[in-house]
Amino acid sequence: MAVMKIIKDTDDILRKKSRPVEQINQRILTLLDDMADTLHKANGCGLAAVQVGILRRVVIVEVEKGKIIELINPEIIASEGQQNEVEGCLSIPDRWGITDRPMKVTVKALDREGKEFKVTGSGLAARAFCHEIDHLDGKLFTDNAIRMLTKEELEEME
C-alpha cells in the first residue's frame, strides 16, 4: 500500500468525467487500498480516484473512524431533505464554503468483490457521498457553494 499524490484544483483532470470500472481486478483493489492510505495521511473523510489522477468511478468515504465505505461505480438513487453546511476538499486546500446538499442519500455501488449493494447516509455521510460522486462527474464543491468563506470566517470557526 502507498500514499498517492492528491491532485490540486489547478489540474484539468479534476474537470473530466471518470469512466466506469469494467472489471474489478488487482489494479482496482490496489487503488482502493492506496486511496485509503492517502485519505488517512491527508486526514480527510472522502476521496475519489480522480483526485489521485485515476479517471475511474471509484470512491472511498470514512466519516466514522475505521469504517471505510468503498464504492465502485457509485450512483445516488435516492435523496431527501436539505442541509447547508461547511464543506472543503483535499484537492482545494485552505478553501471552505457553504454548500446545499441533501440531508440523506442512498447510493448503489459495487463492493470490492463485485457485489452490488446499497448504503444510506445522513448528515456528513450524505454530504461526503454527494461530494465524492460529484468528483466522478468533473464537479467540485465550489460549483455547488452557496458562498465561499473568508479567511476571517474560517479563523473564527476554529
CA distances from 127 to 44, 101, 112, 150 (A): 13, 6, 23, 21
Which of 1, 97, 85, 94 lies closest to 41, judged by CA? 1
Catalytic residue among 80, 132, 156, 158: 132
132 is catalytic: yes
Which residues are identified as catalytic? 132
